[in-house]
Chain A
């Protein structure tokens, strides 16, 4: 049985075919298309042809994508979301999206209403929650033209009842199929971040549905009947259905997939992974085979979310970065030709000097039919430019690595060739795997199924409660398709609540395991 891992980026669609042991059998890179499934079909056909594997031997297809992230960053094709707050005391501040970048706020938040509601930390509901008030508020949101509604209530992760009742009212008024996001289904404790995530989730519903609903159909056309998965920000799997309901969960998956992919390609559990793409370079740490997650709350497009995201440094240096001469030296970035590389950069006949041009001129990169004579850099100048880019990345590596001098460096991504001097000239120990350019697709192919239990619960009977929660997390993961023989508890966080009488604590338990083989 085989798995296909795909990464759909803004510019390229990459693919890897993995055998049952998780080894790469074939890989490739093509241009991302609109609609997305065309590029995916081209990629899969290429992988099958290269290996002679039949469509029936494919047991799962896993896609990592920056589709949702790009929609947020570009502010395009987003739904106007209405926000319904069910909050104790009807707080005035902070208002929804208060610290968001203004353009995104305008694009995403259509209107908001606050109703008295929510729960106390011990599960008591606010005495003043009235469905009629909710109904009036929803009517006002719809009148203002909201195309989706997000509902967020105080302590809803403890009790989702009021949010569910509100969803019923929204459906009555707006009709079945009207896009709704309930915060308790999206995030845990932390009401502002949960509200942000619920708003973005509503905004993204159309773009992900349009992008992926026909993907399953496309696979069937190729006679592939395997389940289709997307990857989540923590490197685990989402079913297509989950991804369509909760598109916000697909953001941030890209770097996680590259970091895990890079480390697995080299067979190394502890490393720094440098992923150079067309516009940026992400540098992260892999610990015990997993991307180390950040302590700071994650942010996307300047909006804070409480998802676990990999701890990384992003630099605006990529294969498409502009190179220009200023103050008697060559500067790299931050502007990039991005997906216009093949029209604008000199090696492709354009007029803009890019880092890719420098790579070709220095001899470290070969491009078929490239117009090397059009670049206009001496090999020495080109090497200076690459060294300059590497110097900036080197500084970031030192910062991330701290005192762990022994950590090796793994170079991946479409631009990995360009930063080889990091290993040759900067004295770092490391590798660039053969499949470096498709490490993200490889990482997607290896993603595991995981399940998170995030509850506020009394720990008076600590051991009993914890073991019950662990079992709950494991069985949820098994229901989702994880292999029961290889499932493990990937993380436990316990945060006791002070000033409560029942030893209440927030407990977050993650169970994770590889995909179950479907026919054995």
Chain B
């Protein structure tokens, strides 16, 4: 029996947009358009049920969904709205009758994908995701860690053209989906790692949607009261203040279809460098790392208090850099092998930001 957990309406989506941006760690794409679409879907088909993972039937299938592609392309090519119904129909043909949808990625615009389809399909949304933040590759998923098969994956463009893909493992699947995405005009709707309720209960990162919504609500309440937003968020979710200063340089380039770069921040006589690949991956001062993936590095704009995505890093911007702890599954040796600093080519070991000493607590009041 399905236990209703919460009802998601337009107000919750406003909060989700902010929380998803924070958990996006600079990546995942701006959810502005997806939020508009999700809101109109809710106006058309009514509020969406958010279901706790434990409430799903063991035998029922769940579909982690979202979009692959360049965030900038999504600012021009609007989804047709037929993509996810096609995915659910095709999964049913594969004897996987879907009982709930979930975002494969909570960070950024993908957090909204299930809300753009749930009402039309009459499905609930699971309060969970498979990344716990945003990551650049599909296989950087707790599903891969748990050994769940990524097949069958279904990828659909906005012309109702689609492919059903079977691959041996997540890395190989990621490569194929990436090539298909490019051929589909650099953005496509995707479902991969479809799984049953019993697997979902074991492996998914639980509560990520309600976490993002709570963060967003805290943010909105704090900013309405004229309070210091980042410090409120850090206080409640165990985050750490890392540094504060002005962006003095930002070098970015496209490598293997990833947006890679380094942004330089200066404050007082000190200088910090943040490395990014779609998302913020590590921050260092000279040769010393202050925080690394999988901890969630967030850059806040000092003026508006808003989290700044990688695409909006601009010279002269005054920012505060903070880190939130990674989901615990990513802090295990297996998790770190998949998404730790070495997996991204940094020659350092992961040290949880919470254990690096209270670097900035005294300065937090300044934010």
Contacts and interface: CB of A to CB of B under 8 A. Distances in A.
A145 interface: no
Contact of A499 (B76, B116, B253, B257): B257
A505 B259 CA distance: 11
A497 B80 contact: no
A500 B186 contact: yes
Nearest to B74: A191
B182 A500 contact: yes
Interface stretch (A38-46, A89-97, A251-259, A432-440): A89-97
Contacts of B254: 496-498, 503, 505
A311 B33 contact: no
B252 interface: yes
A417 to B, nearest CB: 28
Nearest to B254: A496
A503 B252 CA distance: 12
A296 interface: yes
Contacts of B73: 121, 497, 499-500
Contact of A495 (B72, B181, B303, B366): B72
Contact of B318 (A87, A98, A399, A403): A403
B225 interface: no
Interface string A80-111: 00000001111111110011000000000000
B121 interface: no
B81 interface: yes
A136 interface: no
Interface residues of A, number: 43
A90 B80 contact: yes
Contact of B40 (A98, A296, A400): A98
A295 interface: yes
A505 B252 CA distance: 11
B301 A498 contact: no
A256 to B, nearest CB: 18
A92 B187 CA distance: 18
B231 interface: no
B182 A296 contact: no
B318 to A, nearest CB: 6
Nearest to B82: A89
Most A Cβ at <10 Å: residue of B41, B76, B301, B311: B76
A155 B308 CA distance: 25
B2 to A, nearest CB: 27
B185 A121 contact: yes
B186 A499 contact: yes
A120 interface: yes
Contacts of A495: 72, 311
Interface string B315-352: 01110000000000000000000000000000000000
Interface string A482-509: 0000000000001111111101011000
Given A154-B77, A189-B72, A95 B186 contact: no
Contact of A191 (B75, B301, B306, B366): B75
Contacts of A499: 68-70, 73, 178, 181-182, 186-187, 257
Nearest to A304: B32
Nearest to B318: A402
Nearest to B161: A89
Given A88-B77, A95-B40, 17 more contacts: A89-B77, A90-B80, A93-B36, A94-B36, A99-B39, A120-B77, A121-B77, A154-B76, A154-B77, A295-B304, A402-B302, A496-B254, A497-B70, A497-B254, A498-B69, A498-B278, A499-B186
Interface of A: 87-95, 98-99, 120-122, 154-155, 189-192, 287, 292, 295-297, 311, 395, 399-400, 402-404, 494-501, 503, 505-506
8 contacts: A87-B78, A88-B159, A99-B39, A121-B70, A192-B33, A296-B304, A403-B318, A498-B72
List the 10 shortest-distance A-B pairs measured between CB atoms, nearest first: A89-B158, A89-B80, A91-B78, A498-B70, A496-B254, A94-B36, A499-B186, A120-B185, A93-B40, A93-B37
